[in-house]
Structure 1
Amino acid sequence: MKKKIAIIGTGFSGMSAAAYLAKEGHEVHLFEKHSQPGGRARQFTTEQGYVFDMGPSWYWMPDIMDDFFADFGYKVSDFFELISLNPQFEMIFSDEKIKVPENLEELKVLFEQIETGAGLQLEKFMHSAKFKYETGMKEFVRKPCYSWSEFVSPKIAKSALKLDLLTNFRDYTAKYFKNQKLRTLMEFPVIFLGASPKNIPALYSLMNYGGYALGTHYPMGGFYQLVLAMKKVAEKQGAVFHFNQTVEKINTQNDKVNSLTINGEVHTFDTVIASSDYHHTETLLEENYRNYTEKYWQKRTFAPSSLIYYLGINEPLPNLKHHTLFFENDLDEHIDSIYGDKKWPEKPLFYSCCPSKTDPKIAPKDKENLFLLMPLAIGINDGESVREKYLKEMLSRIEKHTGVTGLLSKIEYKKSYCVSDFISDYNAYGGNAYGLANTLTQTAVLKPKIQNKKLKNLFYTGQLTVPGPGVPPSIISGKIVADEINKLKN
C-alpha cells in the first residue's frame, strides 16, 4: 500500500530514506527548517568568494556512496568529480610529522621505517580490518536492531570472534604496534565515534580500512556536492523538498501519528520519519508517546561537540596539506576533557582542513579556505571570548608548522561555530556534533530504536539511532528505515 510520508529534516539519512521510499512509489515530502538541504553538511559562500562546507570533510568509505547511487542507476561521476588525496592527511607530533600516503603499500613502507616489523603488522591489521569492514558495513550495520535475534545467522555467528566485539580498540591496536605515534595514527579515526579508544569495540578497526585502505577523497566543489547529488536522486524518484519549514508538533490519534504542525499549519500523513535530532523529535510528542525519558538521555554517552572556525586567509599557506591533524599534545588528556571532566581542554588537539589546496574554486586566487575543528565536551559554555582564545592557540601552531607569521592579521573572513550553535541550528542534544557514541553499551540493539514503541507509524533515522555517527552510516540508516516502512502491511 502506497503511503503519504513526511520526513523531518534533510540530512543524509533523511534524503537517503526519501530516495528509497519514493522509488517504491510512496508520496514523500521532506520538511527542512533551513533554506537549503544537508543538515550539518550545509555550505555557505561569503561576499569575498570563499565557499565553506559547514560540517563533514572526510570522504571515507566511498563504496557506501557508490552503492547508494548504484541503487538508482547512477554513478558518483554522474554528479561530481571525486579526487583521491595524496597524501591522505598529515599528522603533526611535537617532534615529527607523518604523511599518510594514498597507497597502502607505501603506508606499509612508512610504518616499517618508524618501527621495525610494523609494515608486516599493518598488513595483518588491515587484513583483519578488511574482514570487519566487509562483514560489518555490508551486514552487521544494516540490521534494524529490534532484537539480538537478527544477528543469529550462520555467517554472523561464524564471524563473531573475528569481529572483536568484546575487545577494546586501544588494547587491540597495542597488540600490533609498539610505537606510540603509530598507535595514535591508528586510533585517530575512532575519536569521532564518540568515546576514548579504551571504550570503543575493536570492531571499529573497520574504519581504518574504510579510510586508509580505500583512500581519502574530496568531491570537487566541496562535500556539499554529495548533498546536492542525493537531493537530485531523491527528486528524480518523486520526493518533494520543502524549505524554511519548521515542524512544531507531531499530532496523534488512536495511537498513530496522523499529522504534523508545520509553521503553524496542520498537514496529514500516513507515516512520519524523523531525521531530526532524536531527543528533540520526542519533545514534539506528548510525553506518554515518547520512547525515552529525559533521564535516559542524560545517561547516554554522546559523541563530541566541536569548536569550528571558518577562515578566509588573504595569502597562500605553504606546507599545509588538505587535511592536517595537530596532535602535538597528549591524546588521552584531550579525550578526558571531553568524556571525563567535560571542560575545555588545557592542551588541545585539533584538525585543519584547507580544501583550497585541492580545489581552487572555493577560495579567491592566491588565498586559502581554512576550516579548523577542535573536539569538545557537549553542554559546556562556549562564549565568544573562550572561542577566540582557542582560535589564537590553533593559529599559533599552524604558524609554527607553516612558517607563516601574523596569521590573525591575515584573516579576511571569520566565522565561529560551537556548542550553542549546534543546539540552535539542529536542536542537537547538548550541542553534540556527531550523535550518540558507538560504545559497547550503545551498539546495535542497545541504541535508541528506529521505530516508536507506541506509535507504529513513527520512525527515527540518523546518527542517534542505528547504525551510528558518520556520513556513510547515516546513508545506511535511511535505507534501513525505508526498508522497514516498505515491509508494513498498512
Structure 2
Amino acid sequence: MKLAFIGSGIGSLTTALLLSKEGFTIDIYEAESEPGGRLRYLQRGPYKIDAGPTIVLLPEMLLSILEQGGIARQELDLIKCDPLYQICFPDGTSYVKYPDVNRQKEELLRVFPQDVRYFEQFMKDMKQHYEIGDAMFLNRSFSRRSSAFHPKMLHSLFKLKAYQSVRQRAASYFSNEKLIDAYSLQTLYIGGDPMSSPGLYSLIPYSEHAHGLYYLKKGYAGLASLLKSVLEERGVRFHFNELINKIDYDASGVKGVRSEAREETYDKVIFNGELPRLYDLLGHMKKRAPSFIPSSGCFLLYYGLSTHYENKMTHQFFLPEQFLYHMKQVFKTKELPTNPSFYTFYPSAIDSTLAPEGHSVLYVLVPVPSGDGVDWEREKERFASMIEEQIEQRAFPEFKKHIVWRDVKTPLDAKADGLFEGGSFGIAPVLKQSGMFRPQMKPLPIDGLYAVGASIHPGGGIPIVMQGAKLLADEMMQKPAQWGRGELG
C-alpha cells in the first residue's frame, strides 16, 4: 500500500515509524528543509536550544510507542527532573513540585500546610480518573459515531467532571489561591485557559507527580532527527522544500497529491498540519470548513548567555499578582498582557552540550493571545524589554549584561509559519474540541483520507500526538481497539 504524508511533524514521523515496519510504501512531503514541525532547534553558532516543546511528560507512553516502532529505549537519553519545577509568586513565596509524593507533602507543610490533606485526596482521586481517561480517551479513537456517543463514554466524561473547568477542579481540593494556580496552570502546556479547559485535563498536573517530568538530552528536537534517520534506513522517502497544494479525490476516495513539482497517486493520504488548511487542499471543501477555536499564542524569547547560572532549575514558572487577569487578557479580551506570567526553560542547568563552556542558553515563554488583536510590529520590542526586566529581577540576576544574542518570536511569526491564527498548540482544548468532540483521524467522509497531529484526538503535547499516531497506525493496520480496565458498567 502506498501512503503520502503531508507534513513531517511528530504525528507523521511516528505513524510512519509504526507503519514502515509493516511493508507500507511511504512518502513524506515537507514544505521546510528539515522534519519535525514544532520539534526543531534554534541555533546561533555554537549555541543550540529547542525552539518548540521543552517538557517531556508521559515518558513511558513516549518510550513504549518508539519501542513498538523498533527504537530501543536506550537510544534516548531522558533525564529525570527532580525537582519537577519551581513556581515563583510576586510576594516572594515559592512552591517547588516534586515527583515524590512524600517530598511534596513536606513542601506543602512548608508553604501551604492547611492543604496537605487535600493533596492526598487529589492524588487518590486523580489516579482513578487517570485510569478511566487512559482507557476511554487516550487509547480509543472516536471515528465511528457509535463509539463516540456510547453511554460508557458519556458516563466517563461525567466521572471525570468534564463539565467543570480545570481551575474549578483544583479549587474543589485546595483552599489557597496560589495552590489553585499551581494545579491549574498546566492547561497552558496545550494552549488552554485554566478557566475554560474541561476538568479531564486536570490529569496533567496529576501526571507530573505520578509519571515524572523529563528532559531529553541535547533537546527535544533531537527526536525528529532520530526518527528521520530510522525512517530513511527503512526506505521512507522525504521530499523537503515541497509544499503540497492539492489533494486529489473523487466519490470513491483519495487519488493522490499535487505540488508545483509533481502529481502522484496514492492509496491513502495522511494530513499532519494545521487542520483548517486541510480544507484548503480539498478545493470546494473549503466552504465546509468548521469554525475552530485556536489555542493561545506564545511570545518567545531565546538567548545565548556569556555565563552559566548555578543552582537554577531547568523549568520555572513566574506568576503575577493577578494570574487570572493575565488569563482573561489572553483568552477573553485578546489584548496585550499588562503584567503577565512567564515560564523559563534553562536546559544548560543539566545539559552542557548546548553552549560553549561557561556559557548557557535560555528560553522564555509568555502566554499571549492568538489572532490579530495585538499589533506585534509596534509592541514587540517594548513587550520584550518589559519581560527582560522581569527575568532579571525575578529569575536570573544581571541577565541582560550577559546576553550574547537574542531572538524573539511572536504569534505573527507563528501565523506566517502556518500555525492556525498564530496559536502555538493547534485548536484549543475547550470541551467542544476535546475527546469525542475533537476532530478525529478521519476528519471528513472521504475514503482514504486521514489526519494526525495536535488538533486531532487525543490532542496536543508530544506524547499525546504520538499516541494519536499509534491509534491511526492501528486503524490502518486494522487492529481493533479494546475496552480497557477503565470500562464502566
TM-score norm. by structure 2 comes to 0.91
Residue by residue, what CA displacement relative to the aligned partner does 1:235-278 show, whole Å, maximum 9, x if unpaired?
Answer: 45543322222112212244422121124321221110000111
SS in 2 for 1:39: coil
Q: In structure 2, what is the equivalent of residue 404 of structure 1?
A: 397
The CA deviation at 1:83 is: 0.7
Distance change >3 Å, CA 484–CA 382, structure 1 → 2: farther
Compare 302-311 and 389-398 and name the one that shifted more.
389-398
Deviates more, 1:196-205 or 1:23-32: 196-205
Q: Residues 186 and 204 of structure 2 are in contact (CA less than 8 Å); yes or no, is this contact kept in structure 1?
A: yes
**In the alignment, which of 316, 337, 361 is matched to residue 324 of structure 1?**
316
> Partner residue of 1:365?
357
Greater shift in the superposed pair: 469-478 or 448-457: 448-457
Go from structure 1 to structure 2 and tell me whether the alpha carbon gap of 1:480 and 1:260 turns closer, same or farther (over 3 Å shift).
same
Deviations 1:98-154 (Å, cap 9, x if unpaired)? 222342220122123323342232122112222222332344123221355325779
Give the CA RMSD over aligned residues: 2.3
Preserved CA contact (<8 Å) 1:305 1:377: yes
Q: Tell me how far 1:157 sits from its aligned partner.
A: 7.3
Amino acid at match of 2:474: D
Equivalent in 82, 88, 94 of residue 92 of structure 1: 88
Do the aligned residues in 2 keep the contact of 1:306 with 1:376 (CA within 8 Å)?
yes
With over 3 angstroms needed to count, the CA separation of the structure-2 counterparts of 1:228 and 1:400, relative to structure 1, is same
Distance 2:133 2:58 in 1: 12
Counterparts of 1:403 and 1:374, CA distance in 2: 16
Cα distance in 2 for residues equivalent to 1:161 and 1:236: 46
Letter in 1 for 2:466: I
What are the equivalent positions in structure 2 for 1:19-418 lying under 5 Å apart? 19-47=17-45, 49-77=46-74, 79-95=75-91, 96-147=93-144, 149-150=146-147, 161-235=158-232, 237-287=234-284, 289-290=285-286, 292-293=288-289, 296-297=290-291, 300-318=292-310, 320-380=312-372, 381=374, 383-402=376-395, 404-405=397-398, 407-418=399-410
Amino acid of the structure 2 residue aligned with 1:451 = K
Q: 2:442, 2:287 → 1: CA distance?
A: 9
Q: Identify unmatched segments of 5+ residues in structure 1.
A: none
Secondary structure at 2:38 match in 1:
helix
> How far 1:432 sits from its partner (Å)?
1.1
Alignment partner, residue 481 of structure 1: 472
* Preserved contact between residue 191 and residue 424 of structure 2 (Cα < 8 Å): no
SS in 2 for 1:197: coil
Matched residue type, 1:368: S
CA contact (8 A) 1:84 1:102 kept: no
Distance (Å, rounded) in 2 between the aligned partners of 1:200 and 1:430: 19
Pair 274,159 (structure 1): closer, same or farther in 2 beyond 3 Å:
closer
Question: Given residue 262 of structure 1, which amino acid in structure 2 is its aligned partner?
Answer: S
Matched AA of 1:227: A
| Paired amino acid for 1:388 | E
- Tell me the equivalent position of 1:11: 9
Distance 1:159 1:340 in 2: 29
1:441 and 2:432 matched: yes
Greater CA deviation, 246-255 or 336-345? Answer: 246-255
Take 1:147 and 1:270, find their aligned partners in 2: how far apart are those partners? 21
Letter in 2 for 1:311: Y
Quote how far apart the aligned CAs of 1:414 are: 1.3
Report the residue type matching 1:220 in the other structure: K
Q: Say which is worse superposed, 446-455 or 460-469, in terms of deviation.
A: 446-455
SS of residue in 2 equivalent to 1:487: coil
Structure 1 counterpart SS, 2:294:
coil
Deviations 1:344-364 (A, max 9, x none): 111111111111111011011
> Alpha carbons of 1:403 and 1:376: their partners in 2 closer, same or farther (altered >3 Å)?
closer
Counterparts of 1:394 and 1:188, CA distance in 2: 19
2:9–2:39 contact (8 Å) kept in structure 1:
yes
- 2:448 aligned partner, one-letter code: N
- State, as a whole percentage, how many aligned pairs show the same letter: 26
Which amino acid is the alignment partner of residue 413 of structure 1? W
**Following the alignment from structure 2 to structure 1, what is the Cα–Cα distance between the partners of residues 392 and 20?**
50
Q: CA deviation at 1:343?
A: 1.2
Q: Distance in 1 between matches of 2:189 and 2:333?
A: 18
1:93 aligned partner, one-letter code: F
Per-residue CA deviations over 1:260-311 (Å, capped at 9, x if unaligned) read 1124321221110000111112111112x35942xx32xx322111111111
* In structure 2, C-alpha distance between the alignment counterparts of 1:403 and 1:433, rounded to whole Å: 26
